[in-house]
Amino acid sequence: MRSAGVIVLITLALSACVSVRPRAAIAPSPSADESWTILVVRRGWHTDVGFLAAEIAPPLASVREKFGDARYLTFGFGDRRYLLARTSRSIDLIGAVWPGDGLILTTALRASPQAAFGADNIAAIAVSRAQTRAAQAFIWQSIRKQSGGALWVGAGPYGGSAYYAATERYSGLYTCNSWAAQVLRSAGLSIRHTGVIFAWQLWRQVLRLAAQSEKQTHEQERADQARAPRSAHGLPTAAP
């Protein structure tokens, strides 16, 4: 009975890796002139990682170029058999527990992620350019290649999305959330990825880091204000 319960829980995690349809360690905070952003998107029990389209560099930029004027791109991982079957039958869910080929789901957004998924489901993490590049490099390595380019499998489950073949294998012990945790860890963020199966295991880590980041940002703002030149009346003055 216990093993059956475990399978049920894992099956729920697998079903969650069919992303919710969109509506229409933090390293020390980088300075303003080098601040870039990694987005973490909670989509039900599934987790995506995203970027401002303008901040996506080659070679991953070759994927961005296929989505025209998208402002943001998010990337998620899932089970190929289940995603392409586009079914919610229990037999297909249980089948996804066993190792199989994976897919990378890319979603293009013209609206903000907050507008698409709800502000409570978005964490924007300030990072350096190098950290952004490292996360994007991990995603690129996760995409199977054909003739040097990303191997396109087919249109995604809704407009502005597409599936690409993945190099990683999907299983009940390596889910969309496991993969997203590895993306964040590859950027040098203090994220535990071992044993992460469910979205809540990753999301609570992201919230903790976001709180630390916000605190660091406020401290930096106070320090900048303290260093700002002041007039004889004690008011900040413009830089010469």
165, 141 in Cβ contact below 8 A? no
pLDDT at 166: 97
The conformation of residue 49, written as its DSSP 8-state character, comes to E
Q: b/e map of 174-205 (b: 16 or more CB within 10 Å)?
A: bbbbbbbbbbbbbbbbebebeebbbbebbbeb
Positions of the chain with pLDDT lower than 70, given as ranges: 1-34, 86-99, 213, 217, 220, 224, 228-240
Residue 140 lies in a domain: yes
pTM for this prediction: 0.78
Residue 78 lies in a domain: yes
Q: Which residue type occupies 208?
A: R
pLDDT at 16: 45
**What is the C-alpha separation between 96 and 93, in angstroms, rounded?**
5
Residue 138 lies in a domain: yes
Q: Give the structural domain span for 152.
A: 22-213
pLDDT at 139: 98
Residue 14 lies in a domain: no
Residue 202 lies in a domain: yes
**In Å, what is the CA distance from 167 to each residue of 19, 75, 100, 184, 202?**
20, 14, 11, 18, 22
Neighbouring residues of 232: CB distance < 8 A, sequence distance ≥ 6: none
Neighbouring residues of 88: CB distance < 8 A, sequence distance ≥ 6: 15
Give pLDDT tens digits for 5-34: 434 444 444 444 654 455 443 334 444 446
Residue 12 lies in a domain: no
Residue 204 lies in a domain: yes
**In Å, what is the CA distance from 78 to each residue of 104, 148, 164?**
7, 22, 10
Tokens of 145: 């290649």
Closest CA to 212 of 68, 2, 29: 29
Give pLDDT tens digits for 145-168: 999 999 999 999 888 999 999 999
Domain count, the chain: 1
Residue 229 lies in a domain: no
Segments in 55-172 forming alpha helices (H)? 61-64, 80-85, 90-95, 113-117, 129-142
CB atoms within 10 A of CB 47: 33
**What is the C-alpha separation between 33 and 129, in angstroms, rounded?**
10
